[in-house]
Amino acid sequence: MKKLISLLTVAILCFCLLVGCSQNGENKSEKITVYSFCGENEQFAVTNGVIVISADEEIFYGGDLKVTDDEYFTDITSYSVKFYTITNGETRTIMHNSVVDQTGSTIKVVGDLGKMSGEDIIIGNKVENINELATNLYFELNTTDLNGKQDTYQVQLTVTEITEVK
């Protein structure tokens, strides 16, 4: 229930931000669509991801990463996350972030996965249309431990349309 409330809060906040910023004295009708996404495997879960698409701006919020099996993520010194699509064998990166420990210690592989916003950052640039994104969105986690061992984990994400406002 907490996840649903958090997701809806982020979606409503993004919607209000877009509606408030898009009113520049004109009474224009603009379509805004909000999507949520999530996915999991045996090691981790991606939750509370949000995509907001409008004519003027697109927002991609990666959501939260939660580890479900700590055994795979001990002694981690760096990790990177990537959201991408695969269409006709071609991989297109939507967002890529990384965390690297510079102190010689270890880091926890959990938390906020980042966000980005701008005009045409997803549709027309990374994917041809929203259907391509909704059916082909993937998440990849790459880790490196204290011994230099690297592991890669991937999961296909489930994208759900939450609301469409015209």
Q: Which domains does the chain have, with CATH numbers?
A: 2-22+31-165 (2.60.40)
pLDDT (0 to 100) of residue 28 = 47
Q: What is the mean pLDDT of residues 119-147?
A: 84
Q: Give 91's strand partners.
A: 86
Strongest mean pLDDT among 6-10, 42-46, 55-59: 42-46
Q: What is the pLDDT of residue 4?
A: 44
Q: What is the 8-class DSSP label of residue 76?
A: E
The per-residue pLDDT for range 65-98, each reduced to its tens digit, is: 999 988 889 899 999 999 999 888 889 899 999 9
Predicted TM-score of the model (pTM): 0.79
In this prediction, residue 77 carries a pLDDT of: 95
Residues 153, 46 contacting (CB under 8 angstroms): no
Both structure tokens of 127? 């994917």
